A and B are shown apart, each in its own frame.
Chain A
Amino acid sequence: MWLREARAIFEKEIRTEWRTRVALSGVGLFLLGGLTLIGLAFQGRRVDSDGAAALLWILLLFTAATGLGRGFVQEAERGTALALRLHARATAVWAGKFAFNAALLLALTALATPLLLGALSVDTGETNFGALACVLGLGSIGVAAVFTTTSALVAQSNGRSGALLAALSFPVLVPALFMGVGGTKAALGVSFTVSAWSAASGYITVLGSYGAIAVAASLVLFDYVWND
């Protein structure tokens, strides 16, 4: 029942987005623009894994702030939220939107990571790509959960501005940033004494629980935002 409801909303998100591709092309261009600027700023100079991990996460967070805020804001602006509130349960709406945001951010991360590592000529000789995928994947899911909830808050405000979305989200995202940068660095292979996998596994666990807490907190609180 609940799952079917959430799936219907997820599919609706994909279908409406695919018909116009406004959000997709906008955030895609933002990401490519950001990558180009970073590439031009370094001009092929080799960047160590510290710098690369930090740049990658900053780029991902800004891309998420640009691309993941639309869902609820659009429902509120157009007035479709009223119809959705009548027919769907709040938690199912959140879950459907979250699934869409998470899928979008995962796709963007998968696109950005190889391009950024290439542009910065990062040495990937010691990299454990499985661990890297875990860190970035779980990180993206947690980040998507936070933005899904904060964007629902922003949708209730007057200006519904992207600046407010960033202001609300960034302080809450700091743990994800710390663990994400640490985990990415570890997965890229910095340590000579331990394998990349064992260095990254601690970060992976914490990122996973960060995402789980974000999802749980959102499911508990979302009804108060959606139906007020």
Chain B
Amino acid sequence: MSKGTSSVLPVIVVFTPWLALVGAALWGKARPKLAKAVYVGITAATLCLILPFYARALDGAVTTQRLLGVVSGISLSLRIDTVGFYFAILLAFLWLLATVFSLGYIHERETRYYCFMALNLSFCIGVAFSANMFTLFIFYELMSLCTYPLIIHDETEQARKAGLKYLVYSISAGAVILAGVLLQFFYAGTLNFTGHATLTYADASKPVLLVIFSIYMLGFGVKACIMPLHGWVPDAHPAAPAPASALLSGVILKIGIFGIIRVLFDVFGVKQLRLLGVSLPMLYVASFTIIVGSLFAITQTDLKRRLAYSSVAQVSYIILGLFLLAPDGAIGGLLQVANHAFMKATLFLCSGIIIHETGKRDVRELDGVGSKLPLTMLAFSVAALGMMGVPATAGFITKWELGVGCIQAHRPYFIAVLLISSLLNAVYFLPVIYAAFFKGGPVGGLLKHETKRTMLIPVLITGAFVLILGIFVTVPGLPYSLVEVITKAVF
């Protein structure tokens, strides 16, 4: 936490996506093609605006900007530190790919869809760039609300039910987080993120700290889909259009994780959490979620529902890694943020292509899809292998680091959880791959076309990243370099 500078650039980054609304207002109806170009351009511009912070993030330097004072002690402020940058760059990149994918996938209610995509991007970056819990809460709530129109985009009965469930979960979680924020402010007197513990034994007794911790876990756990708070995930993911489900799983669940990371590193601090003794209970909860989530995934026949349960399980890897409270565990957990984002985005986007091209979403009907959509299914297979933790894929790196972390934390038995989970992943992914490539004859004759280029290219990029993140782990610029800085500062 060496240098701190003030700059308006974070503010510009957060509000750039709003320009999409201008584009929608000007050309949404009259010139839809131009409007779409604007949406993609603005998402790309946002990504480009975040990139320059890379060098500073690698240094561990902090950029802050105060927006508005709210009360003495609370302000709306932005802050770019390493972990915030890591999340922001990841989500902006995925957002760009998903937006490009949407060009080919979304055919109805486009203006609403792209506007809420852009708003959501803005709010997600806002969460990542928040300088205190209050700002984070504000952006978090806005993000929660703006996700709703994406989930019920199709306006089918199923989407409506899923949307309702999502809202009930999210708004309740928001209220819980608000209670946490108030309590934290009351006891700690500050909500700022400083990179070390701000709410300590000096401020409150152990039961109070435990209550605040539990409140935060309950609140953020809904987005981070810790069982039993995951109820909305398996409904919302299948209901949303594919690019939105890719973002839900790849980004929005991670925003819940981001909240937990802030609570871990900037509110309580690692040392204190060890003293509080919350590590083991959280590890049990995470392990439970990993195994039960995978078991549920096996029983699903709807492809996207299966993927949704898989997300529930995989996101808990992050929680497992973080709550080992050991450096390598945290590295594994934080790497999993990017790794899972790319793997699950690939899988969801592929499932979108499959649905778009063949109209099938039942895993039992996918025989021979591989011959019709060879590249798509190749990407799908790579990502699925990544999920299983096959070496040379991103998933392997996660599991390796988590395993090392388990040993570091003197809890080697949690490695068993990782192994069982890999096995279960194989059980629900391998049959899909097998059926796609080796079962049945070619569907629909020879391969004339794969799918639209706007849909295929994002999938190939995310698929390639699954391999890149698995092979070139320590290349500067890839997540590992950032994650190392983050964990070094904390441990």
Q: Do A and B bind each other?
A: no
